[in-house]
Structure 1
Amino acid sequence: MIVTVAGYKGGIAKTTTAVHLAAYLQTLAPTLLVDGDANRSASLWASHGGLPFTVVPEAQAMKHARKFENIVIDTGARPSADELRDLVGGCDLLVLPTNPEAMSLDALLQTTEALRPIGGTYRILLTLVPPSPSREGEEARALLEAETLPVMRSSIRQTVAFRHASAQGVPVYALKGQRAAKLAWMDYEKAAKEIVAAAGERT
């Protein structure tokens, strides 16, 4: 299974999503995370040695890919139309994370518009959703559903636990004694199961 995580804008938890999707897939079968982002955020996360899966830069992907059953690709921000076409053609499912802020939603809508002539299977994942009483997450979901876009049922709550996990170089579930970290991992487990089901429909 090949899942690509992409977006037109930074700050939408793209790498966080790629890392935690790979962490979930690793529990099912050997998983490779390909770091295609110029910022090398996934590679930096992995440099501490606490991730349970392999991370390699994009240039080394072909060499390593045959050893793994699952591949997650963390792409650079704002892919061109040609790059987007290649991304769609090279994976079983394209995942588009977005936070509920207006600028991020606008960038997401630009992405989905660019995808219209290309086709392909994709899902939108709401990330960094503020806790109650904020209604940003609900309002963003309603907007996306009104546009008949394939928004996932799962969403990822906003929590400082992800920043702590990145700093320690581990998946969020490895943080000790933090209830927020457990809830954060539950969010990604639900999302990952939904992604696996959607990717399986295409394969």
Structure 2
Amino acid sequence: MIITVAGFKGGVAKTTTSVHLAAYLQRSAPTLLVDGDANRSASLWASHHGLPFAVVPEAQAMKFSRQFEHIVIDTGARPSGDELRDLVGGCDLLILPTNPEAMSLDALLQTTEALQTLGGQYRILLTLVPPSPSREGDEARALLEAEGLPVMKTAIRQTAAFRHASAQGVPVYSVKNSRAAKLAWWDYERAAQEIVAAVGEQA
């Protein structure tokens, strides 16, 4: 299975999503995370040697990919139209994380217009959703669904646990003594289960 994670605005949890999808998939089969972002955020996360899967830069992906059943690709930010076409054609499912802020949603809507002309399978994952009683997440979901876009049922709640996980170089479930970390991992588990099911439906 090849899952590509793409972001069209910074700060939408693209690398966080890539890391945690890879952590979930690793539990069933060997998984490789390909770091295709110039910022090398995934590689920095992995430099503490606390991730349960392999991380390699994009230039080494061909060399190592045959050894893995699952591949998650953390792409560079803001892909062009040609890059977007290549991303769609090169994976089983394209995941588009977005936070519920207006600027992020505007950038996403411009991207989905291009995707609809390209075809290909993609899902939108709402991330960094503020806790209740904020209605930002619900309002963002309603907007995207009104546009007829494929929004995932699961949303990822905003929590400092992800920042701690990145600083420690571990998946969020390894952050000690944190109820928020357990809930954060639960969100990504459910998101990953949705993704696996969506890929299975295409097979």
Interval of TM-score (by shorter of Structure 1 and Structure 2) = over 0.9
> In structure 2, what is the equivalent of residue 153 of structure 1?
153
Gaps of 5+ in 1: none
Q: 1:54 maps to what in 2?
A: 54
Alignment match, 2:164: 164
Following the alignment from structure 1 to structure 2, what is the Cα–Cα distance between the partners of residues 147 and 118? Answer: 17
The within-5 A match list for 1:91-130 is 91-130=91-130
CA positional deviation for 1:202: 2.1
Equivalent position SS for 1:125 = strand
Aligned length: 203
- 3-state DSSP of counterpart to 1:50: coil
1:2 and 2:5 correspond: no
Q: Give, in angstroms, the shift of residue 110 of structure 1.
A: 1.1
State the secondary structure of the residue aligned to 1:163.
helix
1:1-203 correspondence runs (5 A): 1-203=1-203
CA distance in 2, matches of 1:202, 1:56: 28
Question: C-alpha distance in 1, partners of 2:199/2:32?
Answer: 16
8 A Cα contact 1:7 1:77, kept in partner: yes
The secondary structure found in structure 2 opposite 1:55 is strand
Q: CA RMSD in A?
A: 0.5
What per-residue deviation string (whole Å, max 9, x for no partner) do you get for residues 89-147 of structure 1? 00000000000000000011011011111000000000000001100000000000000
Percent identity, aligned pairs only, is 83
The one-letter code of the counterpart of 2:160 is V
What SS is found at the alignment partner of 1:77?
coil
For normalisation by structure 1, the TM-score amounts to: 0.99
d(CA) in 2 for partners of 1:193 and 1:162? Answer: 20
CA contact (8 A) 1:127 1:155 kept: yes
Q: Which SS does the other structure have where 2:94 is aligned?
A: strand
Partners in 1 of 2:202 and 2:166 — Cα distance?
A: 32
| Residue deviations 1:11-69 (CA, integer Å, cap 9, x gap) | 00000000000000000100000000000000000000000000000000000000000
8 Å Cα contact 1:126/1:137 also seen in 2: yes
For 1:97 and 1:79, locate their aligned partners in 2 and report how far apart those are by CA, in whole Å. Answer: 14
**CA distance in 2 between partners of 1:80 and 1:9 (Å):** 13
- TM-score, length basis structure 2: 0.99
